[in-house]
Amino acid sequence: MARRYVARDPRTWKKLGSSAASVDINIQGLLPEDGAWQRIPKHDVIPLARGDISSVQVSRGKGGTFAVRVDGILALHMALEGRLDEAREVMLDCLDDDHEEIRVAALRGLPPLALKRHEGLLQCLSDRLLDENPKVCQAARECLALVAPVFPSGCEEILRRELRRPENKHRKNAFEALRLTAENWPEAGCLHLDELIREDDVDLRRRGSRILKVVATKHGSTGWDLVGWSLEDEDPQVRRSASGTLVQLANAEPAIATILIEAAMQDDDSGVRKSVIRALKRLDMRNPRVSKMIVDGARSRDYNLRKACIDHLSVIMTGEDLRNAAAELLRQETKPDLRRRLSSLARDVEIVGSEEEKNRFLAPLDKVQGEEGENTPRSGEAIIRREHDKQKSGRPHSED
């Protein structure tokens, strides 16, 4: 019996860790579309796939239908356990068949069979990706996207070649396969990305940087290094994609995110700075390093970054420190709205504020319950009544 496939790091040959519990989780996604192949008796699968018999009658609802050789090829993974090695040999022959439809069917049936017997199948897949027939080549690309996340080390060289092919269809498909691989096997994804971000071809670096979100928080220091290196790339689009991971890192690894954000704050690209602003709001404002970043950012040439940092000054500082910092920033600020905001922060309203502003800081008086009844006149009314009584008493009495 052939041994079970084990994904290994090609540099150390150690077993790769996976974020998924088992490759069997994806078995439904590896199967071909529903069809007559599902109802072929197991003992007829290999003879039908080999072409020893032309068709097999199978039940289908109230009536019946016939399964042909293509259906048998799709069902090779359903062969009896004791004949799986034979099924693999039949699949290898079908992958090299002269007829286009047989090679296409073999590529569609390869993924589920590879879970049970993979020896030689991936090499044939590599050959079919170079097939001159467009339909076969398309089927091979679809097959690669399915098997690469399951067999990362087995497909490593295939992916390495496909990622760098000049044809857009091959390159696009390979990067999608790499993204899926990185989700299940972060180590394998980081291995390819580590090579891609060093390439001279800017398109490779751009496409690779878009996958950084998948590995940024899944593979420890390796993922952080990839983000850091990409943030220093000469191409703005690469840096933008890398900066898109900062919010994610700020939530999961705030200490690492603080270092990366500090380095990216001075980037010339506005897209990078927008990501910095979003990530900055997720950091702990009590951290002295974060506080310093906000004060420095309040002097930035970028209006949006400067505004965001000025809005956070009242969070990291209070009292005299806040007023002094705001007054210093006010001397060099030119934007009217930011000047108004800084002016309000620089004022001590308890001293120089209006009467209404000062009164806000006074404690309210305790409510005093009156001792007299409802008919007791209010203080103002009592004064008016006394004056009225005096005037009345001073008038001369009229003669009868």
What tens digit of pLDDT does each residue of 183-231 get?
Answer: 999 999 999 999 999 999 999 999 999 999 999 988 888 999 999 999 9
Helix/strand/coil for 61: coil
DSSP letter for 117, please: -
Stated as kind and residue range, the H or E segment containing 24 is: none
Structure confidence at residue 100 (pLDDT): 95
Q: Within 10 Å of residue 38's Cβ, how many Cβ atoms?
A: 16
Q: What would the two tokens of residue 341 be?
A: 């905001």
Amino acid code (one letter) for 347: R
Q: pLDDT tens-digit profile of 294-346? A: 998 888 888 999 999 998 888 888 888 888 888 888 888 889 999 998 888 88
Q: Within 10 Å of residue 88's Cβ, how many Cβ atoms?
A: 22
Structure confidence at residue 314 (pLDDT): 87
β-pairing, 56-60 with 63-67?
antiparallel
Helix/strand/coil for 210: coil
- What pTM was estimated for this model as a whole? 0.76
Average pLDDT score, the chain: 84
**What is the C-alpha separation between 344 and 387, in angstroms, rounded?**
48
8 Å CB contact between 361 and 352: no
Q: What would the two tokens of residue 43 be?
A: 């003992």
**Torsion sign over Cα 167, 168, 173, 174:** positive
pLDDT in tens for each of the 400 residues of the chain? 344 445 555 444 455 554 443 344 457 789 999 889 999 999 999 999 999 999 998 876 655 688 999 999 999 999 999 999 999 999 999 999 999 999 999 999 999 999 999 999 999 999 999 999 999 999 999 999 999 999 999 999 999 999 999 999 999 999 999 999 999 999 999 999 999 999 999 999 999 999 999 999 888 889 999 999 999 999 999 999 999 999 999 999 999 999 999 989 989 999 999 999 999 989 988 888 999 899 988 888 889 999 999 988 888 888 888 888 888 888 888 899 999 988 888 876 454 545 554 555 455 656 666 544 445 555 445 455 555 555 555 555 444 3
**What is the C-alpha separation between 343 and 77, in angstroms, rounded?**
75
8 Å CB contact between 79 and 109: no
